[in-house]
């Protein structure tokens, strides 16, 4: 039997990071690759009790189909939760998603026709690229700066594109502790980006998986809160990093007409998000001490970040040409190596030396690729693994460079 795939599927190879994780089956490998929160922070007691309570009280309803936009009590709990972040919305401004990645998929399906333009940072989240490339997107893409998006070049290129007859469909950003770079967008740039969105009538898609995970510095208002729910921003959120990834629950917020369309698409592609999972998230928001939970996570991850930065300083002095970002929060930092290093080749060498990372090229769309960068996750490995893993990474880079010199 010969199957004729859709045109887009013939060249589509999925989420690159997911494929790379298949190399990490060896338990002796120290992995800085996956974007994993630490399982030591999962509130297991709360999750177990919430699941047991839901199943005991109304098992028939819990195990049936649930409303496509999401459970009313979870939506109400999220509305109250967002008020603490300066966001004031109603149920009509939200749709529950089955993970943040699902939220990205809904955005791509709702807005993108083949060859539509979107505006992104370089690098940007690989999962977003996978979702948008499924819709055959093209990009206005600019190198991210130390304080966030290059808004001046965004402005210039958006205007030029509009003058050529093509208005970008949206601007996609991760303003807080960006995946993969760890960079945070300044308040000034958030205001500038919002004014740009209004000026050109190009909405902002603000991806916010990590806002609660700030370890130093002052919390900066979200772009959604700066817009006061005026319809210029769509927010994407997930419980994956603040509760646990296995629950697979997130939510999108934005204008009612947009949320209605997203719910229509959700009904067509996955139908509903499991009620049991939603019940656990609702219990987390309403019956758990969130301040204590987030403070525990902040303290725990801050120590690991400190360990990682110290290990990098010790193993990679300035003359090695290896540089890295110093995030104020989140789960990632970004390493830039000398240009002669191809980190995809380095990845396979690193696996042999029992250490792993994500090569930076997967965070760039086709046509914009860079080959001498890597994303590092510091939240999952232990402190001992961090110290040993950085030593192994140093040895791999030295080995790579010595082989390069022999050629």
Q: What is the CATH number of the domain that holds 245?
A: 3.40.640.10
Q: Identify the H or E element spanning 401.
A: helix 383-406
Say if residue 370 is in the same domain as residue 221. Answer: no
Which residues pair with residue 355 across a beta bridge?
30
Q: Which domain does 319 fall in, by range?
A: 11-42+292-406
Given 287, 322, 352, the domain boundary residue is 287
Say if residue 193 is in the same domain as residue 301. Answer: no
Task: Provide the pLDDT for residue 24.
Answer: 63
CA-CA distance, 214 to 285, in Å (whole number)?
19
Which is nearest to 265 in space by CA: 375, 78, 104, 130?
104
CA 7 to chain centroid, in Å, comes to 28
Per-residue pLDDT tens over the stretch 261-288: 999 999 999 999 999 999 999 999 999 9
pTM for the model stands at: 0.95
Say if residue 315 is in the same domain as residue 361. Answer: yes
- Helical residues (DSSP H) of 112-164, grouped into ranges: 126-133, 151-163
Task: Provide the pLDDT for residue 406.
Answer: 65
DSSP 8-state symbol, 36: P
Q: Which residues 6+ apart lie within 8 Å of 107 measured at CB?
A: 131, 170, 205, 234, 236, 252, 262
Contact between 271 and 58 under an 8 Å Cβ cutoff? The reply is no
Per-residue pLDDT tens over the stretch 33-46: 988 899 999 999 99
3 inside domain: no
Per-residue pLDDT tens over the stretch 343-353: 999 999 999 99
The answer to whether residue 407 scores a pLDDT higher than 90 is no
Task: Provide the pLDDT for residue 403.
Answer: 84
Say if residue 35 is in the same domain as residue 107. Answer: no
Q: What share of the chain is helix, strand, coil (3-state, %, to 5)?
A: 50, 15, 40
Say if residue 49 is in the same domain as residue 92. Answer: yes
Contact between 395 and 320 under an 8 Å Cβ cutoff? The reply is no
Say if residue 379 is in the same domain as residue 395. Answer: yes
Given 269, 287, 305, the domain boundary residue is 287
Say if residue 238 is in the same domain as residue 331. Answer: no
Per-residue pLDDT tens over the stretch 286-339: 999 999 999 999 999 999 999 999 999 999 999 999 999 999 999 999 999 999
Task: Provide the pLDDT for residue 4.
Answer: 81
Domain count for the chain, please give it.
2
Contact between 324 and 360 under an 8 Å Cβ cutoff? The reply is no
Contact between 241 and 331 under an 8 Å Cβ cutoff? The reply is yes
Say if residue 189 is in the same domain as residue 279. Answer: yes
Contact between 285 and 77 under an 8 Å Cβ cutoff? The reply is yes
Task: Provide the pLDDT for residue 331.
Answer: 97
The answer to whether residue 22 scores a pLDDT higher than 80 is no
Which is nearest to 228 in space by CA: 251, 254, 260?
254
Per-residue pLDDT tens over the stretch 54-109: 999 989 999 999 999 999 999 999 999 999 999 999 999 999 999 999 999 999 99
Q: Record the tokens describing residue 350, joined without a space.
A: 């690193």
Per-residue pLDDT tens over the stretch 167-218: 999 999 999 999 999 999 999 999 999 999 999 999 999 999 999 999 999 9
């Amino acid at each position: 039997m010969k199957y004729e795939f859709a045109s887009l599927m013939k060249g589509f190879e999925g989420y690159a990071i997911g494929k790379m994780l298949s190399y990490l089956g060896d338990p002796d490998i120290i992995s800085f690759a996956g974007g994993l929160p630490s399982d030591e922070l999962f509130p297991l007691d709360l999750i177990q009790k919430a699941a047991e309570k839901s199943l005991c009280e109304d098992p028939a309803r819990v195990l049936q189909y649930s409303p496509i936009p999401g459970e009313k009590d979870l939506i109400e709990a999220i509305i109250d939760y967002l008020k603490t972040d300066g966001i004031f919305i109603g149920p009509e401004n939200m749709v529950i998603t089955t993970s943040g990645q699902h939220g990205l998929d809904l955005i791509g399906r709702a807005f993108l026709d083949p060859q539509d333009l979107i505006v992104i940072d370089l690098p940007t989240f690989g999962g977003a690229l996978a979702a948008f490339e499924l819709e055959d997107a093209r990009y206005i893409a600019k190198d991210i700066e130390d304080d966030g998006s290059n808004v001046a070049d965004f402005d210039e290129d958006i205007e030029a594109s509009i003058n050529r007859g093509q208005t970008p469909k949206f601007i996609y950003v991760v303003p807080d502790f960006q995946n993969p770079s760890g960079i945070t967008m300044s308040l000034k740039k958030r205001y500038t980006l919002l004014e740009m969105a209004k000026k050109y009538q190009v909405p902002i898609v603000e991806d916010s998986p990590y806002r609660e995970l700030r370890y130093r510095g002052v919390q900066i208002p979200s772009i959604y809160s700066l817009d006061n729910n005026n319809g210029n921003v769509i927010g994407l959120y997930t419980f994956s990093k603040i509760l646990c990834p296995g629950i697979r629950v997130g939510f999108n917020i934005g204008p009612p007409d947009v949320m209605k369309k997203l719910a229509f698409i959700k009904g067509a592609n996955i139908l509903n998000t499991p009620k049991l999972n939603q019940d656990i998230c609702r219990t987390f928001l309403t019956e758990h001490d969130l301040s204590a939970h987030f403070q525990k996570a902040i303290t725990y991850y801050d120590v690991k970040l400190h360990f990682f930065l110290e290990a990098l300083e010790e193993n990679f002095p300035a003359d090695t040409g290896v540089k890295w970002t110093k995030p104020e929060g989140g789960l990632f930092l970004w390493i830039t190596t000398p240009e002669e290093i191809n980190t995809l080749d380095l990845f396979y060498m690193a696996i042999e030396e029992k250490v792993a990372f994500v090569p930076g090229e997967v965070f760039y769309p086709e046509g914009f690729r860079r080959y001498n960068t890597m994303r590092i996750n510091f939240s999952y490995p232990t402190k001992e693994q961090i110290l040993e893993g950085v030593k192994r990474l140093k040895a791999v880079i030295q080995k790579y460079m010595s082989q390069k010199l022999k050629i």
